[in-house]
Structure 1
């Protein structure tokens, strides 16, 4: 049995969970999330907690048990509190701005990079170089942040690029001159 999977999920007061067979829907003040669980798992809801159970105990079902318990817990946390990621732009002339439903990035290319902000996600730019992303869907938030970051990943020689908050880039020495 999975050690993570057997932990109960506490349901906050402002969150509603609906289970229709294998479909689970979580509603909260920040949005609604849907997921479908495999048929080898079951869900029990009692006394403000949610428990994910396994029907057949196999190695694969144990792995899925922990995975889907974590996914459901992330759904509950997301609709009640939201997830947040912060990106920092490091480099001369690197800046960002929000224009309507797009985020515009100036990253040293000959043209600005324009990206559509997904539904259910809020983007805030602080001082042109810090991007705060908020969403209730943890997977979608990470995917959007990695798509932004893919335009200028951190490089080890000058330390320029788009970095996550608190990320440290291991610097390389570069070429040494002729002796």
Structure 2
């Protein structure tokens, strides 16, 4: 039994949610999103919110049950509050700047890395040394994907901790050579 899947997803005020067959459409103050639920999972809208339950007791139906409920919950949170990921840049001369619809990253390479900002994603650069990047949007998966792509340009290295890392991420540090 899925502990997460048992709970109905509450729909807050200001958010309009509709269930049409296997498609869940959600509209809110930040935008609109939709999700198509797998056929092994049944979706209904009631007084408590959107309820999800498996159609049978197969292993695949039970594994999709909790995931489907979480995806619907992420839609509702996204259109009402939105999602945000923060990145930090560590290193001498490493910095970020916004140039129109592109993020310009100086990460110690012989050239600057230019990352085009996808549609539906907002990127802000802050910090005194322009070393903090804030990525926000309504789709949790896309926000996380953009953050992972930016981090991939120069991941943090274990000796000095230079590179791009998530805010609050602990980097396992190695000891240097000894004489």
CA distance in 1, matches of 2:10, 2:167: 29
CA distance in 1, matches of 2:12, 2:80: 7
> Do 1:78 and 1:135's aligned partners in 2 also have CA atoms closer than 8 Å?
yes
Partner residue in 1 for 2:70:
70
Q: After the TM superposition, which of the residue ranges 14-23 and 75-84 deviates more from structure 2? A: 14-23
Which sections of structure 2, spanning at least 5 residues, go unmatched?
none
Partner residue in 2 for 1:44:
44
Partner residue in 2 for 1:151:
153
* 1:97 maps onto 2:82 in alignment: no
> Do 1:12 and 1:48's aligned partners in 2 also have CA atoms closer than 8 Å?
no
Partner residue in 1 for 2:28:
28
CA distance in 2, matches of 1:151, 1:96: 12
1:164 to 160, 166, 171: 166
Summarize deviations over 1:99-136 as a string: whole Å, max 9, x none. 11111101011111111111111111002100011111
Summarize deviations over 1:115-164 as a string: whole Å, max 9, x none. 11111111110021000111111011110000000011111011111111
Consecutive aligned runs of 4 or more in structure 1 exceeding 3 Å deviation: none
Partner residue in 1 for 2:122:
122
TM-score by length of 2: 0.95
Which sections of structure 1, spanning at least 5 residues, go unmatched?
none
